[in-house]
Structure 1
Amino acid sequence: MFRRTIATQICRCRLYSTSGPEIRDALLARVKEAMKAKDTSTSTTLRSILAEINAADKTSDSKISSSAVISILRKATARRQDAAEQYTQASRPDLAEKELREVNLLSEFLPPLLSEADIDSNIRDALTTLGLNPPVNDRKVLGQLFKQFYSKVDRALVDTEVVKKRAEIIAAGSP
């Protein structure tokens, strides 16, 4: 009995890292709740996310940051959203509904994205920090702008396509 308890504790320490503890701990707690409630769909979905996070941990030298964990969650959500659309097109509403339930479950763990107004203000701050005035059309300068922007704003909190579009609009001199 004693050996099994120690082995279980060692396995728990090895399987789940503590980097990005707030998200990882929330995922683990939710998996435990789902397992106790015998909710297999929730536990399976969350365990697959934890497996992706642990795989990412193994590929890097250190534990991945909570920003990377959020990115993994966003990608998993996007994959499931895409799958739901494909199932809907294929006239499989039962599978589409399952994927959408998983999207809703994973969305609970994601922080909200920054609004366009916040993105715009951060882009303008980056422009003034760099000492640039619109219009700016040079790709090299836009690269510096993005570098300055992402030094202040975490990539996991923004949609990068929206940032790119808004930066091009603001840098071109349009409001």
Structure 2
Amino acid sequence: MKEKDSIASTTIRSVLADVYAADKASPEQKVPSSAIMVLLRKAAARRADSALQFKEAGRDDLVRKEQQEIGVINRFLPPLLPEAEVDRILQQVLAEKPVDTGADARRALGAVLKEFYAKADRSFVDPEVVKRRAMAALSA
């Protein structure tokens, strides 16, 4: 705000509003930092979706604005775990607890994901990558 960067200040205010709303929704305690990282990733994903829609509508000025906001949010986010690390954790989970894939594929996937997230923090992984890699590991 001191730098008079209107894009950054507006983006930060928007994200802080999301964090404050999450704090109010959870009255017994403050939102943990891992949940804040998830909120930041969701905010960046919303802006990426908006940028895509603006691009389809031919609004390049709004696309640039959304991309700048994504850049501001990404400055506060830690890097995601690479797919190789996700695969390593999934293989470890499958080695520790073999899953019966014949009975119900969704139930098996749920069990694998539950164990995966017990070992890895949700804020450091892309859930779509984890789900895709877990399905591939189960089918193999």
Q: Does 1:136 align with 2:101?
A: yes
Q: Does 1:59 align with 2:25?
A: yes
2:50 counterpart letter in structure 1: A
Decide which of 13, 31, 35 is 1:68's aligned counterpart.
35
Gap regions ≥5 residues in structure 1: 1-34
DSSP 3-state at the match of 1:76: helix
1:120 counterpart letter in structure 2: D
Q: Does 1:42 align with 2:8?
A: yes
* Corresponding residue for residue 60 of structure 2: 93
With normalisation by structure 2, the TM-score equals 0.90
Show structure 1 runs of 4+ deviating over 6 A: none
Give the stretch that moved more between structures: 164-173 or 121-130: 164-173
CA distance in 2, matches of 1:97, 1:154: 32
- The alignment yields a C-alpha RMSD, in angstroms, of 1.5
1:166 Cα deviation from its structure 2 partner: 1.0
Aligned length: 137
Decide which of 79, 83, 90 is 2:50's aligned counterpart.
83
Gap regions ≥5 residues in structure 2: none
Structure showing greater radius of gyration is: 1
With normalisation by structure 1, the TM-score equals 0.73
1:94 Cα deviation from its structure 2 partner: 0.8
1:53 Cα deviation from its structure 2 partner: 0.2
CA distance in 2, matches of 1:112, 1:39: 24
1:76 Cα deviation from its structure 2 partner: 0.6
CA distance in 2, matches of 1:98, 1:121: 38
Give the stretch that moved more between structures: 135-144 or 150-159: 135-144
CA distance in 1, matches of 2:56, 2:113: 37
2:47 counterpart letter in structure 1: R
Contact 2:34 2:123 in 1 (8 A): yes
